[in-house]
Structure 1
Amino acid sequence: MRLSAAIADLLHAQRGHLFPWTPVFLGAGIGAYFSLKSEPGAAEFSALALCALLMAAGAVGRRQLAFLLWGPALAAAGLCLAGARAHLVSAPVLDFRYYGAVEGRVAGVDRSPTDALRLTLDQVRLDRVAPDDTPARVRISLKALEQVPPPGARVMTTAHLLPPQGPAEPGGFDFRRHAWFKQLGGLGYTRVPVLLAEQPGQSLAVERLRRGVAQGLQDRIAGETGGFAAAITTGDRSGVGQQTLTALRQSNLAHLLAISGLHMGLLTGFVFAAIRILFNLIPPLALRWPVKKLAAVAALTAGAGYLALSGGNVATERAFVMVAVMFAAVLLNRRAITLRAVAVAAWIVLLRRPESLLSPGFQMSFAATAALVAVFAALRDREVPLGPRWLRPVLAVVISSAVAGAATAPFAAAHFNTVPHYGLLANLLSVPVMGSVVIPAAVLALCLAPVGLEMAGLTVMQWGLDWILAVAGVVSGFDGALSHVPAPGAWVLPLFAAGMLFAVIWQGRLRLAGLLPAACALLMWSTAERPVVLIADSGGLIGVMAPEGRALSRAKGQGFTAKIWLENDGDPAGQIAAAARWADDADALPVWQGPGFRLLHALGRRKLSQVSRCKEGDIVVSTVAAQSPGNCLLLTPAVMRQTGSIAVTATGGLQTSRSASGQRLWTAWRPEGAEVSRLRKLLGRQNPQ
């Protein structure tokens, strides 16, 4: 009874501040679903749903302890929600390499990491593939430079398609899961022109408008600046090259490229202020009409139009919900910016797309927003002076940039393995220009477009964007502008997020206790060890840890996998430099002596023929199907399809992508063979799947 009373008193002190915890518990359930090693069945989902209902019913009438029941109820509901979403988006996925005719409707245009234009096609038709086995969407990279067809048009080409690939290393980013929720069942490329089969009809009108606006901006503003203008206006990044993207990331200005809270806030704030000032300049209107509320409606309408034009990604959706809640509060004469508004935005995003919880955009945007709201609320409540009136906007920008940068830095480092050191400087030089020059100029161009005078606004907009790109280029070129960090363990980010959420949401001195798990998470990160050996799921690349960094078995080919491995190591070297660390000559068979075993890499039949005699304890990784030339263990592509990528620890422990990701809707692992069991025994560890 005393414990119950103490808990009740503790929660009573949080009265009015408990609602922001509800999306946290919902998100915990969603995260639990994605961490499972096997897909729950209908019985498990039914039991969880029943438990959630019973706990929610039990919370009714228990005012003091209701929160203790609502928490697990929401977590159970979150797990069921994520499972329902995963089943609802279920669509066919290729399970073989396809080459042949591809026909479909252009649903989107973007740019790949290799700077190639890509088409996403829906309403797909594949030659000799039954409709029930045809993916709902495929993505094709264009190797030849050609005219990009408009969204909604039906096109046809001849393409190579592959199923979405698994993690580059066990426990890494699983692209198959990402593709599952986007209903991408095949990815590949075409080396021949894409033919227009049918002009776009009435479908995808908004997508065509986005593409038309983006193309119009790039026609009027030349070079990378035009691509930048299209990106911040429509969310279309296809006109921004990899060199510009790299400079923006290394200077911590990549958030200016994404249509997020900054852009939505600046746009709606400018419209709100402009409409309010305009009405106030007309005394009869200012005295008779609710000018502030009319301005809020106008700003909300502008935000909704921006959301539709931008394509509605997670960050833009979250930003619109935030401004919608804020202006709704203005209409209801309530306080506009609170953690409750952040919680409402999180609820809406998670209910619509639970899988977004795992995305960098969701994590970084909500981390920045929650931290900004908490810090400025604390400054307001404690009446902290920010100096004279003329200095306050400058200090607000400095504080905002510092707080947002600090809040997003751990998540950015975990996902992108880099820490920019001059991000605060770059943001102080760029964010005011975005707010005072670029956004107002874009609104001016939109207003003048009907009379053909949009270049007056676009010219000013170009000046501002040129300045931002120049800042990015200079700052990213500073010595020591970027540090590289290794990838954290699976529990680092969840533990860090839990601690910081407690520190932000909880009221009172006890909130400082949240810093302890956050510090423990950072300590776990700093002591994390990387695998000694990594083997790609195709068998085409091996990486072993050497004193100077990871050594790769080849200097060309498998470039994407090599890039991921080196980034996760926190290693800035490229593939060629990493391959030079391998001691053998280029013409010799790559061999590495491990703890109790020897690893040989046979690229093709010519290299495999060099393995004339191999002994017990040798592991030969081959890129072609073959019989073992001796008593060694031969890992062929067929075996690797059973395991996925492989990691070996310093003690000989084995982890496969199959064991890390488990049997889920999006994995479709093949049954294991005798070679996998022999591999486990050879490495001295039985690791159940």
Structure 2
Amino acid sequence: MSDTDTRQASHDAERGSFMLPGSDAATAVAVFAPNVPRSLMSTQVRRGISRLSAHLSPRTIKASIASAIEEERAYGHGFVLIPVLLIFGVLTWLSLPFDVGIVKLALLLCIFSMAAVVCIGKFARLRAPLIAAALFTAGMLLIAVDTVRTDTVVLDAPVTTNVRGVVFSREQDDKGQWRYGVDVQQTTEPRLRRQPTKVTLVARGREDPLPIGATIEGRARLSPPSGPALPGLNDFAFDSYFKGIGAVGFFYGAPKGGEALATGETKASSPSSLATRIASMREAVGERIRAAIGGDTGALAAALVTAEERAISRETVEVLRQSGLAHVLAISGLNMALAAGTFLIGARTVLSMIPGLAHRVAIKKLAASGALLMVCTYILISGGAVSALRAWIMISIMLMAVFFDRMSISLRNVALAAIIIVAITPSAVAGPGFQMSFAATLALVAGYARWRERRETAMPAAERQRKGRGLVTGVIAGVVITSLIGGLATSVYSIAYFHRLPAYGLLANVLTMPVISIVIMPFGLFAMLLMPFGLEHYPLLAMAWGLDRMLDIARFVVTLDGEIVTGRIGHLGFVLIAAGGVLICVLRSWLALSGAVLIFAGLVSLPLERDHLPDVMISEDGRLIGLVANDAIATNRVRPSDFVFSQWQRALAVENHLKPAMLPLPEAGDPYPATEPAGKSAPPLDQEKVTAIRADLSSAIEASAAGVFVCREKQWCAARNAYGWTIVALENPRLFPALCDQADLVVTAARVDSAKCPTARARIVNAQTLRRTGAIEVRAQPDAGQTAAGMQFRTSFTALSRPWERHRAYDWRTGSFAEGQPAL
């Protein structure tokens, strides 16, 4: 190429001549490099394209993936993936609409395991996928075995009966009422055909409580554990099933008690008696703490030691949740690490002050032995929650690593703790406690490992040996980074399970961490060590001072009004984000980018999965009905159940509540009948009263505002929504034949015969329906060729084939489980 051609190309580039018809790639690139000869430029472009093609070729990609896998193996992350696959198997089995038998899973596990063993030579590449399939199947087998082993008998319907049994636990709430855990021995009047083995019953009086191990007897109202407040929310019957609790309820009056049963030497050595002794010791510790401090502070201090949270007032619990400090209530890694660390440092300091001892004995290992004994005692009196069990396993491994001079913090520790918990209690995998605890721990350990590697490679040795410089800033930075990582790692779980996020949780944790680390946990540990000698009073007072300061900070953060109510999120988005977070933490090579891809895909899917709000909600017992419109929920109750209604508000991200307009019964010429006791039939209403009742209902609806309930006291509540639906909730079931054809949707908490309705206009939801469907959502769905919107029902339960759901299909008259689902 001549100089003239080069100058012409430069001139064309300055004039903006980029690509002309017939020009080649070199001419196009010339606009950015006008002084480069065309032949040289063309060569460079070809080389670049060739290199890009080489990088994107299947052979290169395959080699890169193989290299990354080898890098992961070098880090030992194959072991870390074992609990991930086990957990995936457990969650898959739990999410299926049917049971997969133990025999089938055992055969699959044998097939995958044997196939992995015989894969050698050119088939060796199949070994890793087969091992993964075997671990996945092993997770399914573990939960299947645990489900059969548990085999809890869950009460099928509410009933009033006489209960006699043995107290295996007791706990006092913030109102002074005692909740007993009872091993049921007998039920009478009536005798239950499917008698639960364990129940929890509340004694509402102020009588002296019965001790653990004593017999207890009284007339009680028993109910099955509640299901989800809305479809897709937490099913409390699932948790109760795997805890062995078959019913919940309360005593009518004060229960009668007898002598403690565990008095003989033989019984004292049995596992049940040992558990009773531990429960008694745990309760005694909590009572001494509450007696020394008192009030909410005392209840909070006891919860940090024994995990008994019922004595804390709801206001305090809500303040801690809104400020992002609710994790302090759970005995987890923070509590146990601070307790173990305080003991380890304190014991090592004391031992080092003994002249000549450090030269003869490894005092670090001696102090670690004492700390190991301390955390084992801590786990016994803490109740053994999943978060506490995980923390205990990890802390124990870390302390035992001191004996062998090995590194104590690693992903292997987290993986080993997860494997042990999945093997012992696989059902815990489905709970937020397990998931949030391990997500935070996994993120913190992975972040610490990467920070340590970067520090060792980037910082000179002389710089690492300097001490004392930047100590305060380092501690502050560590607290901030730890809180930030833990908050980010658990945020998606907080949204998925609790539908809210504390916007200023990072601020609250940074402000409270010095108080927790320096005052609360150390003095709590001193109090426990001195309690056998009766010297715990003053350490507990110091602990109480720290707790009061923590509550002050929590209340200050709450005043910033920073809680974010997110509402429900889609299951697919949650799974993708959670899985992506795990991969980012576990993988160390470029394969970790796959986790970022999953998180991005999950974030994209969240708005796509979000449904529009339901128009009508019906609670599981049929007593609470809600209409959603204009950023408010209108209900048929002036004071709805906080347990259910608060879940509605958070799940739907709707805060405002519209109360019903209450109308008293007319005095003169009252057409309304009295409510008959349950189980007794009443004569039908005469036509004159039916006409008067219908007229009263119609006039009340016409006079009320749309989207708001109007209620005739103890008889009915009615409302008309934006779609023109008339919704009637019947308080008095005797009105069903008179009003069932006056509405589009009729809801009653009683058992009624739908055949008595003269017309088929209304969709009827009664006690029989709700027992099998659980809570219901109704959405408007326009029907083809019709002007009015149709009703689309979404129920909490469909198949009722899983063990924790099957009690809903039980028919006590025939003693069998009914098939199918009631029509809506």
| TM-score (normalizing by structure 1) | 0.91
Q: What CA deviation, in whole Å up to 9, does each residue of 1:580-634 have, x standing for no partner? A: 983242337424457696543333236546626448xx33223331421422243
Aligned position for 1:155: 216
Q: Distance in 2 between matches of 1:450 and 1:586?
A: 60
Q: What secondary structure is seen at the aligned counterpart in 1 of 2:79? A: coil
Q: What secondary structure is seen at the aligned counterpart in 2 of 1:125? A: strand
Q: Which amino acid aligns with 1:228?
A: L
Q: What secondary structure is seen at the aligned counterpart in 1 of 2:179? A: strand
Q: What secondary structure is seen at the aligned counterpart in 2 of 1:165? A: coil
Q: What secondary structure is seen at the aligned counterpart in 2 of 1:140? A: strand
Q: Distance in 2 between matches of 1:24 and 1:439?
A: 32
Query: Does residue 1:601 correspond to 2:684, yes or no?
Result: no
Q: Does the CA-based 8 Å contact 2:635-2:657 persist in structure 1?
A: no
1:290-689 aligned within 5 A: 290-383=362-455, 388-476=470-558, 478-527=559-608, 528-529=610-611, 530-574=613-657, 576=659, 582-587=707-712, 589-593=717-721, 599-605=727-733, 608=736, 611=739, 613-614=741-742, 618-624=744-750, 625-626=752-753, 627-632=756-761, 633-651=763-781, 652-659=791-798, 662-668=800-806, 669-670=808-809, 676-677=822-823, 679=824
Against the structure 1 CA distance between its residues 264 and 612, is the aligned structure 2 distance closer, same or farther, given a 3 Å change threshold? closer
| TM-score (normalizing by structure 2) | 0.76
Q: Distance in 2 between matches of 1:600 and 1:564?
A: 23
Q: Residue 11 of structure 1 is aligned with which of 59, 69, 85? A: 69
Query: Does residue 1:270 correspond to 2:377, yes or no?
Result: no
Q: What secondary structure is seen at the aligned counterpart in 2 of 1:491? A: helix
Q: What CA deviation, in whole Å up to 9, does each residue of 1:434-489 have, x standing for no partner? A: 1111222123223333443322212211211121122222222x142212111122
Q: What CA deviation, in whole Å up to 9, does each residue of 1:144-174 have, x standing for no partner? A: 2333323222222211001223222222211
Identity %: 31
Against the structure 1 CA distance between its residues 590 and 52, is the aligned structure 2 distance closer, same or farther, given a 3 Å change threshold? farther
Q: Distance in 1 between matches of 2:572 and 2:206?
A: 44
Q: Does the CA-based 8 Å contact 1:30-1:81 persist in structure 2?
A: yes
Against the structure 1 CA distance between its residues 538 and 462, is the aligned structure 2 distance closer, same or farther, given a 3 Å change threshold? closer
Against the structure 1 CA distance between its residues 519 and 409, is the aligned structure 2 distance closer, same or farther, given a 3 Å change threshold? same
Q: Distance in 1 between matches of 2:65 and 2:543?
A: 56
Q: Which amino acid aligns with 1:552?
A: T
Against the structure 1 CA distance between its residues 675 and 210, is the aligned structure 2 distance closer, same or farther, given a 3 Å change threshold? closer
Q: Does the CA-based 8 Å contact 2:224-2:246 persist in structure 1?
A: yes
Q: Does the CA-based 8 Å contact 1:315-1:361 persist in structure 2?
A: yes
Against the structure 1 CA distance between its residues 405 and 575, is the aligned structure 2 distance closer, same or farther, given a 3 Å change threshold? farther
Q: What CA deviation, in whole Å up to 9, does each residue of 1:494-539 have, x standing for no partner? A: 2211111111111123313312222332343345124333222333
Q: What CA deviation, in whole Å up to 9, does each residue of 1:321-342 have, x standing for no partner? A: 1111112222222111011111
Q: Distance in 2 between matches of 1:581 and 1:310?
A: 52
Q: Does the CA-based 8 Å contact 1:589-1:601 persist in structure 2?
A: yes
Q: Which amino acid aligns with 2:766?
A: T
Which consecutive residues of structure 1, in runs of 5 or more, have no partner in the other structure? 680-689
Against the structure 1 CA distance between its residues 59 and 541, is the aligned structure 2 distance closer, same or farther, given a 3 Å change threshold? farther
Q: Does the CA-based 8 Å contact 1:552-1:578 persist in structure 2?
A: no
Displacement after TM superposition at 1:96 (Å): 3.1
Q: Distance in 2 between matches of 1:301 and 1:78?
A: 32
Displacement after TM superposition at 1:354 (Å): 0.7
For these two proteins, the number of residue pairs brought into alignment is 674
Aligned position for 1:686: none
Against the structure 1 CA distance between its residues 445 and 539, is the aligned structure 2 distance closer, same or farther, given a 3 Å change threshold? closer
Q: What CA deviation, in whole Å up to 9, does each residue of 1:412-441 have, x standing for no partner? A: 222112211221221122222111112221
Against the structure 1 CA distance between its residues 60 and 459, is the aligned structure 2 distance closer, same or farther, given a 3 Å change threshold? farther
Bigger mean CA deviation after superposition, 411-420 or 312-321: 411-420
- More relative contact order in 1 or in 2 (CA 8 Å, sep 6+)? 1
Against the structure 1 CA distance between its residues 192 and 130, is the aligned structure 2 distance closer, same or farther, given a 3 Å change threshold? closer
Against the structure 1 CA distance between its residues 575 and 411, is the aligned structure 2 distance closer, same or farther, given a 3 Å change threshold? farther
Q: Does the CA-based 8 Å contact 2:772-2:821 persist in structure 1?
A: no
Q: Does the CA-based 8 Å contact 1:105-1:152 persist in structure 2?
A: yes
Q: Distance in 2 between matches of 1:131 and 1:29?
A: 37
Against the structure 1 CA distance between its residues 558 and 229, is the aligned structure 2 distance closer, same or farther, given a 3 Å change threshold? closer
Which consecutive residues of structure 2, in runs of 5 or more, have no partner in the other structure? 1-57, 263-267, 663-704, 782-790, 810-816
Aligned position for 1:246: 318
Q: Which amino acid aligns with 1:206?
A: I
Q: Distance in 1 between matches of 2:508 and 2:124?
A: 49
Q: What secondary structure is seen at the aligned counterpart in 2 of 1:167? A: coil
Q: What secondary structure is seen at the aligned counterpart in 2 of 1:104? A: strand
Q: What CA deviation, in whole Å up to 9, does each residue of 1:41-66 have, x standing for no partner? A: 35533443333433443468876553
Q: What CA deviation, in whole Å up to 9, does each residue of 1:5-41 have, x standing for no partner? A: 6654332121122211110000000000110101223
The RMSD of aligned alpha carbons is 2.9
Higher-Rg structure is: 2
Q: Residue 191 of structure 1 is aligned with which of 237, 252, 255? A: 252
Q: Distance in 2 between matches of 1:90 and 1:178?
A: 13
Q: Distance in 2 between matches of 1:583 and 1:459?
A: 52
